[in-house]
Amino acid sequence: MISFQFTFLVLALNFLTVYNRPAGINVRNMESFIQAVQQVEDSNPGLSPLALVRALRRTAGHDDQMTIHFLGASHNLSDTEGLEGSILNATSFSFFDKAIHHIVTDNGEERGVVLAPDGTTVALAPLLLAIESGLKAKMEGTEALGLFPLSLGRTLGLSFLSLQDIPPSMRLGPNGCWDNVEQPKVFKISRPATLATDAVINGGMDGLLLGMHLSKLPASEQPQALSEILREYYNFTLTEKQGIDAVTSYISPKRRQLSRQLLEPLDLHTEVMTTLTLVWKLEKTEWIAQDSGLGKAVQEGLKTFMHRYLDCPQIIPRCQWGAKASRDTPIPLSLPLKFLYVHHTYEPSAPCLSFSSCSRNMRSMQRFHQEDRGWNDIGYSFVVGSDGYVYEGRGWSHVGRHTRGHNALGYGVSIIGNYTAALPSRHAMDLLRNHLALCAVNGGGLTGNYTIQGHRQVVNYTSCPGDALFSEIRSWEHFRG
């Protein structure tokens, strides 16, 4: 039998080998991480996913008081006994710190994060802690009591509390962009970081979903290998026949929809306050216990969290899909607006089903609008893909070039594809109708009594957004003839 010490030595060496190969693998994307995990598993038959995530926690130095409270100290657990001597060398510690340990540098580089295939960025630490919580509950036949505190509760609460002197809207986030989505190595955030960056919240949501799923597996069903758990969630393939509407399993583009289903039944205020109380008890943090504004800070912060991460769709920023700069200074909109104009792109005519294809479509449309039509930028305010995401065009604040004579009066939102005879996916229409619009109202971009109109209603020469889609939007609540 292979000793635990030798097992973990192989684990460390395999990670170092995989992550430092010159042939395109020394990049910070999810697939490279999964490949590294899989090589460890292949080299150590019988290594359980729980033992593996515990070993990763040990090397990343994530044995803080709350983690120990819920998961136990990794160096005291039976399946990691005798491993200390094989991992506490400078090389392996440095590697795992870079791979998993989350930190934001003084120059705004966020580390411990990876680019997922869907174009979003995920922090590995909360993801792996929550997966460990779910696996531990499955093994012991108990509830995963630490799942919310370890995935989201602690980070949200401390972020709300530590930034009470700034507006609630700035107490979470931000997002950022990679230096290169094909070979991502450096992720820079767009403004000073909070404790709960978008990547940390994405990792927390993903961990919450996967951890809950693992904890609820039937007693007779054994969990998959860690690489398989991650690959099924992140590395899926959508097709026109098997689009996102037909997918019933957990996949990353549905993280906000599925997280909302898990979180809405909870009293989140009580959950976060309970988590902060536990932080105070475990870490003897007096400033938390004595803060009289704690309840208000949590209430305000949760309102922002619900709006930004559950009501709003995830929007892929311009820098992520490869947008060129506007050719002129953008003109600011006068908010709130009264109209939302619905379009289809017509060309590209096929729905885009992945981050790479949707990004390619966005660049193609921007090039056409700038070079062939002579506009300053892509015309639309936002564009909806069939990959589960909304793509930023001119955004919330700037006048677009989408609906002649009405550009300053409303947002122009297009769904990629030709919808003359067929409808977009239900998921794409739901993103526009129930999430992007709600996000705009709650964020001050649209009035509460806004009007939805098809492009053809206000511009005579077009059949946009296509007969099928126009017939559909006529049934929507805010549609006006």
Q: What is the pLDDT of residue 168?
A: 80
Instruction: From residue 168, give the alpha-carbon distance in Å to each of 27, 194, 348, 397, 447.
Output: 35, 11, 39, 20, 21
460 shares its domain with 367 = yes
256 shares its domain with 348 = no
307 shares its domain with 378 = no
Please tell me the number of Cα atoms within 13 Å of 376 on its side-chain side.
12
Q: Specify whether the CB–CB gap between 230 and 53 falls below 8 A.
A: no
Tens of pLDDT, residue by residue over 142-199, are 999 999 999 999 999 999 988 777 888 888 999 999 999 999 999 999 999 999 999 9
Bridge partners of 40?
none
DSSP letters, 81-141, are: TT-HHHH-SHHHHHHHHHHH--EE-TTSBEESEEE-TTS-EEEHHHHHHHHHHHHHHHHHT
DSSP letters, 2-43, are: --HHHHHHHHHHHHHHHHT-TTTTSS-BHHHHHHHHHHHHHH
Q: Specify whether the CB–CB gap between 445 and 396 falls below 8 A.
A: yes
* Positions of the chain with pLDDT under 50: 1-25, 80-89, 91-92
Rounded CA-CA distance 366/352 in Å is: 16
Rounded CA-CA distance 200/207 in Å is: 10
For residue 341, the SS3 value is strand
Is 2 domain-assigned? no
Bridge partners of 452?
340, 479
Q: What is the pLDDT of residue 241?
A: 80
Q: What is the pLDDT of residue 20?
A: 41
Q: Specify whether the CB–CB gap between 8 and 83 falls below 8 A.
A: yes
Is 470 domain-assigned? yes
Rounded CA-CA distance 393/391 in Å is: 6
Is the dihedral angle over the CA atoms 278, 283, 284, 290 positive or is it negative? negative
Q: Specify whether the CB–CB gap between 361 and 416 falls below 8 A.
A: yes
235 shares its domain with 350 = no
205 shares its domain with 354 = no
Rounded CA-CA distance 262/208 in Å is: 9
Rounded CA-CA distance 149/458 in Å is: 50
- Could you give the angle at which helices 198-215 and 124-140 cross, rounded to 10 degrees? 10
Is 20 domain-assigned? no
Q: What is the pLDDT of residue 1?
A: 38
Is 53 domain-assigned? yes
Exposure string of 164-201, with b = 16+ CB inside 10 Å and e = fewer, is eeeebeebbbbbbbbeebeebeebebeeebbbbbbbbb
- Could you give the angle at which helices 268-283 and 154-162 cross, rounded to 10 degrees? 80
Quick one: tokens of 298? 């949590």
344 shares its domain with 246 = no
Sheet holding 337-344, edge to edge: 315-316, 390-392, 382-384, 410-415, 337-344, 446-454
194 shares its domain with 242 = yes
195 shares its domain with 83 = yes
Tell me 398's DSSP state.
Answer: B
92 shares its domain with 231 = yes
Q: What is the pLDDT of residue 40?
A: 80
Beta-carbon neighbour count of residue 403 at 10 Å? 27
Is 226 domain-assigned? yes
Helix (H) or strand (E) holding 471: helix 467-473
Rounded CA-CA distance 20/23 in Å is: 9
Is 100 domain-assigned? yes
Strands 337-344 and 446-454: parallel
Is 97 domain-assigned? yes
329: nearest Cα among 388, 239, 394, 255:
394
Contacts of 152 (CB under 8 A, 6+ apart): 126, 201, 204, 205, 208
Q: What is the CATH number of the domain that holds 391?
A: 3.40.80.10
138 shares its domain with 256 = yes
Q: Specify whether the CB–CB gap between 217 and 223 falls below 8 A.
A: yes
278 shares its domain with 341 = no
173 shares its domain with 247 = yes
397: nearest Cα among 335, 340, 447, 448:
335
Is 108 domain-assigned? yes
**The total number of residues written for the chain in this structure:** 481
Domain housing 153: 30-311
Domain tally for the chain? 2
- Could you give the angle at which helices 49-60 and 4-19 cross, rounded to 10 degrees? 70
Q: Specify whether the CB–CB gap between 18 and 25 falls below 8 A.
A: yes
Rounded CA-CA distance 453/473 in Å is: 8
Tens of pLDDT, residue by residue over 215-246, are 999 999 999 999 999 999 999 999 888 889 99
Rounded CA-CA distance 10/272 in Å is: 39
